């Protein structure tokens, strides 16, 4: 009796938090692992131009599990994640649906979207080298990370982080597992500190004298240099220069952020419209500005800070192949004890 | 011989007749609340994960195990040392500032592990304040001439976790010291034991159960932590669970590791219980004289004050000042986000609801164990601790599997039968999140309230019953007034934990709901820590009030019950 | 007047774990009777009391209160049994004043009536001046009286007292006991009092029930159980007997110091031990039959306990004298009053 009353009151009270379960036509629901601050400008612009409200919930781990668990009742229309691997996971878990949209297909290069239309890349970032300003270094190969001349001078975040497993998977795609293991072990020998923290810490640690070079994503440099992160970060960024590294037989490793339409999307038409908006010139520009990423749409403007790194030569290995080596990459990280 | 109908009657009615049957029923429901998500995980784990354990054993497990054990040993040692010594300091001695210290020693509870890690990473960075000052004093020009050891290490992790988790030891130990009979201490002293030696030879051994429980809680928090360990580069088993799940997209495998970890934790808890099974701390309706405080001289007093204040300084004041300045800088730079008000409302509302549910169930579980002692009610009480022992993300996934499934079922049924879609009843309303938090923190409330109830002599129950009150009436008129401070203490602790909780909140909250913790995480996840500083400060700020209240609970208790048995001094976690 | 049965126990049993706390106890208590339930700790007397109150249940047998079954087939919750219970630790509610403690059992009655009842009970028990005090400010004796008042206020059909005086000092205990009994008697209450103190049991009860290991050893009036103990255990429980080994033969008992003619109740074929009450041993300077030496004298105020070494006996004998012995008395003679002898 008591418990029932309690339960009722809890349910009643929680309904305060709940959004209308039957969304009106002008609303779509977005599940995202992209941080709210990154996509907020896009959503605002979209609401302004179309009047459609985008409800969001930001998650990190477990987005796919949540959509899968909610099944047919899921309110999710769009799933937005970072990393090609996560996009492939969504498709493999069967929580996405096939979309035929000429707008999307024309705007996005074929290698940056799913062949069957289950997911679409929306922006790109490169996994690049941050080097101390005073180091004379015009070009760099990923292979050099294992070169003993950098012993005690390399900073990188945890090897198990998806950014790094993708890079390692790319290495496997080029050289196979055995070579990659040697490379990882060599890089491990070169680490100046534990493989931990974030990409910005690499710049900060270079400024702090902990290391000379390190690996980080392109957009962090934009964020730091622009001063959006405060004055301190400008100093971190000033301590480094960016070199776009390449594989000896390839280009710079890139990854994408992207989106998919949920399999049980209640507002599919609206969802597709939103996706199409995301590859429009306007949205691609906002994307590039807000987060200093490379747009996927050919010819869309790149932020000057990012453009200053030089021309991006995307690696030849297709994302789908890289993704297939991810698990192996993760196991190699454990095997060589990269993060220990 | 009893007639067969009588035997059956007994089986149904149990030892105290029919009374308390409703309590038992709800108590079992609470047990179910905790067990269901774990069952969900078991189902997930049974899907199998080919080759996972072989890989784990040959690569990561040996390292992760050793690291986990070192971390646990280290944090256990640090929390035990700080917790017991400060508790003894404020109970055995009197010195200027003691009362202030008594409650401010709780303040680090308000600082989540992930926040302290990030704060010190920045403070102690080569370009941070500390090392900058040292270089300036020593006259070094460049960063490369002088550098302190990196805080990103096992030692750093142990120390930082230790300095925010020691209150878990301090609270029950101090309560135990306060309730210890002064006679025992006096007896020891007449037997030639010095006052200092009394600590080692009498007070500490007597407080052992409280210390053990405190350490157990601190260690469970340690096992739960992912944020700080990730920041500081310590690879624990918990991090392995993550890697298995996220990077290798192997949820069944992650569930298997999580369940194995849970078993180990439960085994340890069981072992601890077994070790003190012989120890009973009698409750007499009449109270004995407490421990007399010794006046410390001015010099010694100053030293005590400084020594006692050190953990507060490291665990709270320094990070709080750091966060305040960062938040201020951020405010100057970017102003206050308009979302901050919504986030405050969500944070408080969710925490309040979850606290209400947690305390409600905890009350039932603990009370059932009293009015209807037996195997079933004891089982509920034990089960209620399991949620606390399981890592938060794992709990969240378990809840997700169960409640989203239920949601789906309800929605489908409603559509089939009435042609109406209910949407996601639990996930969509936040009930799933409240559920997860309840499951997670039930141990705290049930344990604390049970400890409070155990201080009430059973004869009071019997007196009330023979004077015409039913079980419910006895609860309302006797137990509730006499254990309200224990309940309040449990509620405050749960509230603070809910505010700090991250993984379940992140995964299970409804659309458009953001709390301070998720906001903080959202910024931290993309490396924009500076933008998280306001949210981090808000978490600490929201938690301070309950923490201060917690320290005051029972202090202003009217003298009447204080003398009979000191309710306010109950070890919050005694019953775990 | 024919009084009706207030409490009836029919083969009541209770098992804790593997051990039986109460075994097949059958007992009837008449209305208005004061019954002392006595025995060493752990004999099951408190358990029995709690079974009657309903805070414990019987595993076997049946319990009737005023001929209404309360346990055994149907279980009546304690709050519906109309029993008053005075606990060993008094169990006063620490958060309630004395008045509110006494009011506690009067819920459901009209407020004015309840208040009147409370002041009446407080008046009778003489605790009016304590009305607004809180339990912890009261002395032990005061707490005991409040507990009694609280139990009596709802006019229960049976009052159960669990070691009600054991927490009091010796002198206070006597006075509180006398006052309590007089209140209970004047209220005409049916009372079951549990105690481990033989003297208290004998002095308080209309009837005494001696228990051991969950079973009734003997029941009867105080005089019966004292004068005619059913067995050695009962004898030892109520009196610190001197024991002299020997053998029974034809109405007499042969011992190392001679042959004693037994009263008829003590004639027991095959008994091996002569039971001599301390007061059955009379000391005189030289009029007695046996020579004895005083080994130890314990002054008790009104009386004196004397330990004697009797010639021909290995064990010491103890006696109690009320007339003072000369301070230098060493060698005395004793005689044993045959009417008070028992054998087992």
Cβ neighbourhood burial of C118 (10 Å; 0-12, 13-18, 19+): buried
Looking at residues B145-171, what average pLDDT do you find? 84
Across A138-152, B275-289, B422-436, the highest mean pLDDT is recorded for A138-152
On chain B, the residues whose CB falls within 8 A of the CB of A220 are 527
Domains of chain C: 5-235 (3.40.50.300), 240-343 (2.40.50.140)
Indicate if the pLDDT at residue B558 is higher than 50.
no
Q: Report pLDDT for A173.
A: 93
In DSSP terms, A257 is beta-bridged to A82, A123
Question: Where does the pLDDT of residue B292 fall: very low under 50, low under 70, confident under 90, or very high at 90 and above?
Answer: low
Across B122-131, B229-238, B503-512, the highest mean pLDDT is recorded for B503-512
Using an 8 Å Cβ cutoff, are B575 and B450 in contact?
A: yes
Q: Which of B43, B429, B434 to mutate: most A Cβ within 10 Å?
A: B429
Looking at residues A53-60, what average pLDDT do you find? 89
> E strand or H helix at C215, and its extent?
strand C215-220
Lowest pLDDT segment from A218-227, B558-567, C142-151 = B558-567
Q: Report pLDDT for B6.
A: 43
Query: Which among C178, C181, C87 has a CA at the least distance from the CA of C135?
Result: C87
On chain C, the residues whose CB falls within 8 A of the CB of B461 are 55
Q: Report pLDDT for B26.
A: 85
Q: Which of A43, A57, A235 to mutate: most B Cβ within 10 Å?
A: A57
Q: Calculate the dihedral angle through the C-alpha atoms of C238, C242, C248, C250, rounding to the nearest 10 degrees.
A: -80
Using an 8 Å Cβ cutoff, are B492 and B553 in contact?
A: yes
Question: Where does the pLDDT of residue B49 fall: very low under 50, low under 70, confident under 90, or very high at 90 and above?
Answer: low
Question: What's the pLDDT tens digit per position in C120-134?
Answer: 999 888 899 999 999
Q: Report pLDDT for A28.
A: 92
Question: Where does the pLDDT of residue A112 fall: very low under 50, low under 70, confident under 90, or very high at 90 and above?
Answer: confident
Indicate if the pLDDT at residue A1 is higher than 50.
no
Question: Where does the pLDDT of residue B430 fall: very low under 50, low under 70, confident under 90, or very high at 90 and above?
Answer: confident
By residue count, chain A amounts to 340
Q: How far is A338 from chain B (nearest CA, A)?
A: 10
Question: Where does the pLDDT of residue B117 fall: very low under 50, low under 70, confident under 90, or very high at 90 and above?
Answer: confident
Domains of chain B: 51-276+290-322 (1.10.3720.10)
Indicate if the pLDDT at residue C92 is higher than 80.
yes
Crossing angle between the packed helical segments B113-123 and B529-552, to the nearest 10 degrees? 130
Question: Where does the pLDDT of residue B277 fall: very low under 50, low under 70, confident under 90, or very high at 90 and above?
Answer: low
- First-to-final CA distance of chain A: 53
CA B117 remoteness from chain centre:
18
Cα(B335)–Cα(B386) distance, integer angstroms: 43
Query: Which among B200, B552, A228, B466 has a CA at the least distance from the CA of C150?
Result: B466
Using an 8 Å Cβ cutoff, are B439 and B33 in contact?
A: yes
> E strand or H helix at B282, and its extent?
none
Indicate if the pLDDT at residue B231 is higher than 80.
no
Query: What sign results for the dihedral spanned by CA atoms A174, A180, A184, A189?
Result: negative
Query: Which among A23, A340, A6 has a CA at the least distance from the CA of A184?
Result: A340
Q: Report pLDDT for C324.
A: 81
Does B397 contact chain A (CB < 8 Å)? yes
Lowest pLDDT segment from B79-83, B291-295, B324-328 = B291-295
Looking at residues B214-241, what average pLDDT do you find? 80
On chain A, the residues whose CB falls within 8 A of the CB of B60 are 334
Using an 8 Å Cβ cutoff, are B377 and B24 in contact?
A: yes
Per-residue HEC secondary structure of chain A comes to CHHHHHHHHHHHHHCCCCCCCCCCCCEEEEEECCCHHHHHHHHHHHHHHHCCEEEEEECECEHHHHHHHHHHHCCCCEEEEECHHHHHHHHHHCCECCCCCHHHHHHCCHHHECCCCCCEEEEEEEEEEEEECCCCCCCCEHHHHHCHHHCCCEECCCCCCHHHHHHHHHHHHHHCHHHHHHHHHHHHHHECCCCCCCHHHHHHHHHCCCCCEEEEEHHHHHHHHHCCCCHHHHHHHHCEEEECCECCCCCECEEEEEEEEECCCCCHHHHHHHHHHHCCHHHHHHHHHHHCCEECCCCCCCCHHHHCCCCCCECCCCHHHHHHCHHHHHHHHHHCCCCC
Using an 8 Å Cβ cutoff, are C95 and C106 in contact?
A: no
What integer best gives the mean pLDDT of chain B? 79
Domains of chain A: 24-124+255-303 (3.40.190.10), 125-253+310-335 (3.40.190.10)
Cα(B166)–Cα(C308) distance, integer angstroms: 68
Cα(C5)–Cα(C31) distance, integer angstroms: 6
**ipTM metric:** 0.81
Looking at residues B304-320, what average pLDDT do you find? 92
Residue of C nearest to B563 (CA): C136
Does B320 contact chain A (CB < 8 Å)? no
Which of B13, B284, B459 lies at the smallest CB-CB distance from C87?
B459
Query: Which among B321, B331, B344 has a CA at the least distance from the CA of B542?
Result: B344
Q: Report pLDDT for B112.
A: 87
CA B63 remoteness from chain centre:
27
Phi, psi of A113 (to 5 degrees): -140, 165
Q: Report pTM.
A: 0.80
Question: What's the pLDDT tens digit per position in B530-554?
Answer: 778 888 888 888 888 888 887 776 5
Lowest pLDDT segment from A307-316, B53-62, B215-224 = B53-62
Residue of C nearest to B462 (CA): C55
Question: For residue B83, what are the CA distances in angstroms to A254, B201, C31?
Answer: 50, 17, 61
Cα(A17)–Cα(B304) distance, integer angstroms: 48
Q: Which position has the higher pLDDT, B390 or C244?
A: C244
Q: How far is B567 from chain C (nearest CA, A)?
A: 11
Share of chain A above pLDDT 70, in %: 92
Cα(B254)–Cα(B260) distance, integer angstroms: 10
Q: CA B22, B27, B29: angle at the middle one, nearest 5?
A: 100
On chain A, the residues whose CB falls within 8 A of the CB of B361 are 3
Cβ contacts of B218 within 8 Å, gap of 6 or more: B75, B76, B79, B83, B165, B166, B168, B169
* C-alpha atoms less than 13 angstroms from C-alpha of B324 in its C-beta half-sphere: 7
Question: Where does the pLDDT of residue B9 fall: very low under 50, low under 70, confident under 90, or very high at 90 and above?
Answer: very low
Lowest pLDDT segment from B176-185, C39-48, C158-167 = B176-185
Question: Where does the pLDDT of residue B220 fall: very low under 50, low under 70, confident under 90, or very high at 90 and above?
Answer: confident
Q: Report pLDDT for B388.
A: 83
Contact A337 B59 (CB under 8 A): yes
Lowest pLDDT segment from A8-17, A192-201, B31-40, C231-240 = A8-17
Contact A230 B142 (CB under 8 A): no
Q: How far is C117 from chain B (nearest CA, A)?
A: 15
Query: Which among A36, B507, A171 has a CA at the least distance from the CA of A44?
Result: A36
Question: What's the pLDDT tens digit per position in C211-264?
Answer: 999 999 999 999 999 999 999 999 999 999 999 999 888 888 888 888 888 888
Q: Which of B438, B511, B524, B529 to mutate: most A Cβ within 10 Å?
A: B511
Q: Which position has the higher pLDDT, B9 or C6?
A: C6
Please count the other Cβ atoms lying within 10 Å of the Cβ belonging to residue B274: 9
- First-to-final CA distance of chain C: 39
Phi, psi of B229 (to 5 degrees): -60, -40
Using an 8 Å Cβ cutoff, are A179 and B507 in contact?
A: no
Question: What's the pLDDT tens digit per position in B70-108?
Answer: 999 999 999 999 999 999 898 888 888 888 898 889 899
Question: Where does the pLDDT of residue A5 fall: very low under 50, low under 70, confident under 90, or very high at 90 and above?
Answer: very low
Using an 8 Å Cβ cutoff, are A155 and A201 in contact?
A: yes
Question: What's the pLDDT tens digit per position in A28-39?
Answer: 999 998 888 888
Crossing angle between the packed helical segments B208-224 and B251-275, to the nearest 10 degrees? 170
Q: What share of chain C is helix, strand, coil (3-state, %, to 5)?
A: 30, 35, 35
Q: How far is B391 from chain A (nearest CA, A)?
A: 14
Residues 374-393 of B with CB under 8 A from A: 393
Q: How far is A144 from chain B (nearest CA, A)?
A: 24
Q: Is residue C338 helix, strand or coil?
A: helix
Q: What share of chain B is helix, strand, coil (3-state, %, to 5)?
A: 75, 0, 25
Share of chain B above pLDDT 70, in %: 82
Please count the other Cβ atoms lying within 10 Å of the Cβ belonging to residue B373: 15
Q: How far is A318 from chain B (nearest CA, A)?
A: 19
Look up residue B104 and give its two tokens.
Answer: 């401010």
Question: For residue B200, what are the CA distances in angstroms to B14, B149, B194, B280, B547?
Answer: 45, 34, 10, 20, 29
Lowest pLDDT segment from A165-174, A247-256, B88-97 = B88-97
The yes-or-no reply on C/A contact (3 CB pairs or more, < 8 Å) is: no
């Amino acid at each position: 009796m008591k418990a029932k009353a309690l339960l009722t009151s809890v349910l009643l009270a929680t309904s305060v938090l709940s959004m209308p379960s039957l969304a009106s036509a002008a609303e779509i629901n977005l599940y995202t692992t992209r941080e709210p601050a990154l996509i907020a400008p896009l959503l605002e612009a979209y609401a302004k131009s179309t009047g459609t409200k985008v409800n969001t919930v930001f998650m990190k781990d477990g987005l796919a599990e949540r959509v899968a668990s909610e099944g047919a009742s899921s309110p999710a229309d769009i799933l937005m994640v970072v990393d090609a691997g996560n996009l492939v996971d969504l498709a493999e878990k069967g929580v996405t649906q096939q979309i035929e949209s000429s707008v999307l297909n024309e705007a996005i290069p074929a290698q940056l979207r799913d062949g069957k239309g289950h997911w679409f890349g929306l922006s790109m970032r490169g996994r690049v080298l941050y080097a101390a300003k005073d180091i004379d270094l015009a070009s760099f190969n990923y292979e050099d990370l294992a070169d003993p001349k950098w012993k005690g001078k390399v900073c990188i975040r945890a090897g198990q982080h998806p950014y790094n497993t993708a890079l390692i998977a790319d290495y496997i795609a080029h050289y196979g597992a055995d070579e990659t293991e040697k490379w990882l072990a060599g890089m491990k020998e070169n680490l100046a500190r534990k493989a931990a923290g974030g990409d910005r810490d690499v710049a900060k640690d270079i400024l702090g004298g902990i290391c000379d070079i390190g690996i980080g994503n392109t957009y962090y440099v934009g964020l730091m240099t622009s001063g959006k992160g405060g004055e301190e970060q400008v100093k971190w960024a000033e301590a480094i220069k960016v070199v776009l590294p390449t594989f000896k037989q390839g280009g710079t490793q890139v990854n994408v952020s992207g989106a998919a339409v949920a399999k049980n999307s209640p507002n599919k038409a609206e969802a597709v419209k939103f996706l199409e908006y995301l590859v429009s010139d306007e949205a691609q520009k906002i994307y590039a500005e807000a987060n200093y990423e490379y747009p996927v749409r050919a010819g869309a403007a790149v932020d000057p800070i990012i453009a200053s790194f030089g021309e991006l030569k995307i690696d030849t290995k297709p994302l789908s192949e890289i993704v297939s080596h991810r698990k192996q990459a993760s196991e190699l990280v454990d095997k060589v004890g990269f993060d220990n | 011989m009893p007639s067969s109908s009588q035997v059956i009657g007994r089986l149904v009615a149990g030892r105290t007749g029919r009374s308390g049957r409703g309590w038992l029923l709800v108590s079992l429901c609470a047990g179910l609340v905790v067990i269901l998500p774990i069952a969900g995980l078991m189902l997930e784990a049974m899907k199998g994960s080919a080759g996972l354990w072989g890989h784990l054993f040959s690569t990561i497990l040996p390292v992760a195990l050793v690291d986990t054990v070192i971390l646990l040993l280290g944090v256990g040692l640090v929390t035990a040392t700080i917790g017991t010594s400060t508790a003894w300091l404020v109970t055995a001695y009197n010195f200027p500032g003691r009362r202030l210290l008594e409650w401010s020693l709780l303040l680090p509870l308000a600082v989540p592990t992930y926040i302290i890690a990030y704060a010190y990473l920045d403070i102690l960075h080569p370009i941070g304040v500390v090392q900058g000052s040292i270089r300036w004093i020593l006259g070094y020009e460049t960063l490369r001439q002088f550098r302190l050891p990196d805080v990103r290490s096992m030692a750093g992790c142990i120390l930082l976790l230790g300095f925010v988790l020691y209150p878990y030891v301090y609270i029950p130990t101090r309560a135990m010291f306060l309730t210890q009979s002064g006679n025992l201490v006096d007896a020891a002293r007449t037997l030639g034991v010095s006052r200092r030696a009394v600590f080692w030879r009498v007070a500490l051994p007597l407080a052992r159960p409280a210390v053990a429980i405190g350490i157990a809680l601190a260690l469970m928090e340690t096992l739960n932590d992912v944020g700080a360990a990730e920041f500081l580069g310590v690879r624990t088993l918990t991090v392995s669970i993550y890697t298995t799940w996220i990077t290798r997209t192997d949820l069944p495998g992650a569930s298997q590791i999580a369940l194995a970890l849970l078993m180990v934790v439960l085994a340890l808890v069981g072992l601890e219980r077994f070790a003190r099974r012989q120890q009973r701390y009698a409750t007499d309706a009449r109270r004995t004289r407490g421990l007399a405080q010794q006046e410390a001289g001015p010099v010694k007093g100053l030293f005590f004050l400084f020594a006692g204040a050190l953990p507060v300084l490291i665990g709270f004041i320094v990070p709080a000042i750091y966060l305040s300045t960062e938040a201020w800088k951020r405010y100057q730079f970017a102003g206050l986000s308009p979302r901050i008000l919504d986030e405050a409302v969500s944070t408080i509302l969710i925490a309040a609801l979850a606290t209400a549910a947690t305390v409600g169930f905890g009350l039932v579980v603990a009370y059932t164990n009293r009015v209807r002692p037996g195997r079933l009610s004891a089982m509920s009480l034990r089960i209620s601790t399991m949620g606390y022992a399981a890592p938060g993300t794992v709990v969240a996934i378990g809840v997700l599997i169960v409640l989203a499934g239920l949601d789906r079922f309800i929605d489908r049924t409603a559509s089939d039968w009435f042609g109406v879609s209910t949407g996601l009843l639990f996930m969509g309303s936040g009930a799933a999140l409240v559920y997860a938090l309840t499951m997670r923190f039930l141990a705290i409330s049930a344990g604390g309230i049970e400890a409070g109830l155990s201080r009430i002599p059973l004869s009071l129950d019997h007196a009330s019953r023979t004077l015409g009150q039913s079980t419910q009436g006895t609860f309302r008129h006797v137990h509730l007034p006499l254990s309200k401070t224990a309940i309040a203490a449990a509620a405050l602790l749960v509230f603070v934990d809910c505010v700090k909780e991250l993984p379940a909140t992140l995964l299970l909250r409804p659309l458009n709901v953001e709390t301070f913790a998720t906001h903080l995480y959202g910024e931290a996840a993309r490396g924009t820590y500076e933008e998280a500083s306001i949210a981090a400060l808000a978490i600490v700020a929201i938690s301070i009030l309950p923490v201060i209240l917690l320290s005051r609970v029972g202090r202003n208790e009217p003298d009447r019950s204080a003398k009979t048995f000191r309710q306010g001094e109950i070890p919050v976690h005694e019953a775990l | 007047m024919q009084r009706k049965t207030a409490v009836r126990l029919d083969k009541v049993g209770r098992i804790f774990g593997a051990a039986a706390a109460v075994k097949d106890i059958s007992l009837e208590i008449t209305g208005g009777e004061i019954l002392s339930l006595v025995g060493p700790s752990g004999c099951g007397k408190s358990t029995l009391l709690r079974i009657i109150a309903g805070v414990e249940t019987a595993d076997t047998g049946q319990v009737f209160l005023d001929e209404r079954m309360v346990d055994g087939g149907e279980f009546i919750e304690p709050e519906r049994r109309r029993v008053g219970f005075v606990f060993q630790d008094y169990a006063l509610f620490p958060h309630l004043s004395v008045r509110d403690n006494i009011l506690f059992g009067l819920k459901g009655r009209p407020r004015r009536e309840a208040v009147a009842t409370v002041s009446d009970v407080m008046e009778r028990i003489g605790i009016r001046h304590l009305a607004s005090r809180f339990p912890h400010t009261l002395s032990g004796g005061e707490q005991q009286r409040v507990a009694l008042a609280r139990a009596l206020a709802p006019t229960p059909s049976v009052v159960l007292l669990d070691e009600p005086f054991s927490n009091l000092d010796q002198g206070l205990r006597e006075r509180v006991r006398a006052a309590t009994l007089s209140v209970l008697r004047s209220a005409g209450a049916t009372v079951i009092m549990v105690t481990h103190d033989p003297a208290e049991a004998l002095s308080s009860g209309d009837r005494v029930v001696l228990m051991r290991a969950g079973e009734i050893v003997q029941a009867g009036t105080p005089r019966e159980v004292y004068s005619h103990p059913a067995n050695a255990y009962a004898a030892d429980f109520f009196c610190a007997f001197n024991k002299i080994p020997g053998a029974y033969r034809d109405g007499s008992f042969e011992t190392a110091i001679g042959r004693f003619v037994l009263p008829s109740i003590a004639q027991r074929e095959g008994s091996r031990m002569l039971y001599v009450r301390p007061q059955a041993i009379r000391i005189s300077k030289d009029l007695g039959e046996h020579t004895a030496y005083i080994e130890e004298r314990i002054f008790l105020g009104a009386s004196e306990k004397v330990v004697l070494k009797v010639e021909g006996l290995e064990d010491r004998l103890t006696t109690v004298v009320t007339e003072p012995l000369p301070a230098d008395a060493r060698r005395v003679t004793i005689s044993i009053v045959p009417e008070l002898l028992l054998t087992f």
